[in-house]
Amino acid sequence: MAALDFIVNILSTPAILVGLLALLGLCLQRKPVEDVVKGTIKTIVGFLVLSAGASFLQTGSLLAFGELFNFAFNMQGVVPNNEAVVADALQNFGTSSAIIMALGMMLNIILARFSRMPYIFLTGHHTLYMACMIAVILGGAGHLDGWMLYIAGGCLLALIMVLSPAYCQITFRKVTGTDGVALGHFGGLGYWLAGIVGKLFAKDPNKKSTEEINFPKRFIFLRDTTVSISLTMMVFFLIVVGVAVAKGLLGIVPAGTDAEAAAQLLAPHGLTVGNLGGLLNIGTETTTNWIVWALTSGMSFAGGVYIILSGVRLTIGEIVPAFKGIADKLVPGAKPALDCPVAFTYAPNAVIIGFLVSFLGGIVGLLILAGIDASLVPVALILPGVVPHFFCGATAGVFGNAEGGIKGCIAGSFAHGLLITFLPAICMPVFSALGYVGTTFSDADFSWMGILFGNTVNFIQGGALLLICVIVYLAPIVYNLVAPKKADATE
């Protein structure tokens, strides 16, 4: 078990995983030792910087904004949370999840080699999350266990690891201007949808990219991404915190209350001590005026985005050349599929537009679900989670912009916001039936995989279920062998 835990830690740590791939690629190219060491370390450091930015953004601004928004506007419902199911799965299906993950990654390389989807999925934490979900769905109700569960789960995991980058690549190559890198993030269906919707505006004679927004001469400083994001988020924080304060936020916790007692007072309102920092008068912590807190939180948001973009630039600069060794020696034409922030550097303005519009789409979707619940059939009310709407919504904005400019960005990210509201609501009964009441995954690929196979296991179990999983895995390989090939694979 100690060895298994070590392997799981390696495979689920994106920085180490990508660093090992860079090391392998550089060695296969027979680069000098100094180049191998430099390329490997810079790749790992780049991913660590990217992860640090994401963590800083989440703990510093995103989660606090979401809690305050729900409190300010009296939003009630379920916030989709990937980690909730994963935490339980690792406790009750830890061995199965680990084996499925390891087997899935090996089968991913085989699929990349022998199908027409040459993508090697390198987002380790998402690979682990998907492995956990598959283990829960296939093994949670006793449909499969042992070696049958491992093989069936590994086949499904490997399939989505190439399929998700494949349908994203249709638009992602327009985002990057190259076909050498892919997107490896299980929000892929949402990004594909954003690209399809954005394409509706592709022939607009007035089409203009979000990065071509013309500012008056005195406002030219707004072309600086850090400045524009800071100002935008400061305004939003001021509005949300101002409404929350007007509704009595600052009176919930009496001055000087210790953290444990404060947590109990805040919990009924959906608020937490950690995310609100110095805004509330807790214990001996020095409080900050709510206006100052809102302004600094908005700028912290921009700081997190800046760190992420720096990490992406460093990582892409190293991993793409290093990956050439793997593409040349092991999997001809292989493309590294990387985490969604790799898209952010190509259209920073679309990132903030995509986030805000996707979040708006989540609110509209919540209102639609509330109407359905009140007048038609009972459905889960899915609150717009700020984390998925930022990371996934921002990426959807970049995709929409690549296809249809500003209008495509707005329409595509709005459609994405609706999608990641409705899909979790549809998927929720699957997890409720498995004992996970009140929680569901947030990102689109988790949802559609959960809906499809979570309902399949209700009708098919045992050897027949294993056979179906093996067949869907082998289908892309068989197709590659028997179907005529186009002269240009990128068409």
pLDDT in tens, 412-453: 999 999 999 999 999 988 888 887 777 788 899 999 999 999
Half-sphere exposure of 490 (CA within 13 A, CB side): 11
DSSP annotation of 182 = E
pLDDT of residue 252: 86
Q: Which residues of 17-44 are buried (b: 16+ CB within 10 A; e: fewer)?
A: bbbbbbbbbbbbbebeeeebeebbebbb
Q: Which residues of the chain have pLDDT under 50?
A: 489-491
DSSP-assigned letter for residue 60: I
Report the pLDDT value the prediction gives residue 309, as an integer from 0 to 100.
73
Instruction: Tell me what pLDDT residue 165 has.
Output: 96
Alpha carbons 342 and 340: distance in angstroms, whole number: 5
Please state the separation of Cα 439 from the chain's center in Å.
17
Q: Which residue has the tokens 């830890």?
A: 94
Beta strands in 396-491 (DSSP E): none
CA distances from 8 to 76, 97, 129, 337, 455 (A): 36, 9, 12, 20, 28
Domain positions in the chain are 2-482
Q: Sign of dihedral through CA atoms 197, 202, 205, 211?
A: positive
Q: How far is it, in rounded angstroms, from Cα 28 to Cα 219?
A: 50
Distance from C-alpha of 254 to C-alpha of 252, rounded to nearest angstrom: 7
In whole angstroms, what is the distance from residue 347 CA to residue 352 CA?
A: 9
Q: Locate 14 and state its tokens.
A: 């994106």
Neighbouring CB atoms inside 10 A of 461's CB total 15
Rounded to two decimals, what is the model's pTM? 0.79
pLDDT at 448: 94
CB 159 within 8 A of CB 472: yes
Given the structure tokens 């999840």, which residue do they identify?
97
- CA-wise closest residue to 300 among 283, 288, 312, 314: 288
C-alpha distances (whole Å) from 215 to each of 146, 204, 394, 436, 451 are 61, 21, 22, 49, 45
Count other C-beta atoms under 10 Å from residue 269's C-beta: 15
Instruction: Report d(CA 339, CA 316) in Å as an integer.
Output: 11
Structure tokens at 159: 């399939």
Return the SS3 of 335: strand
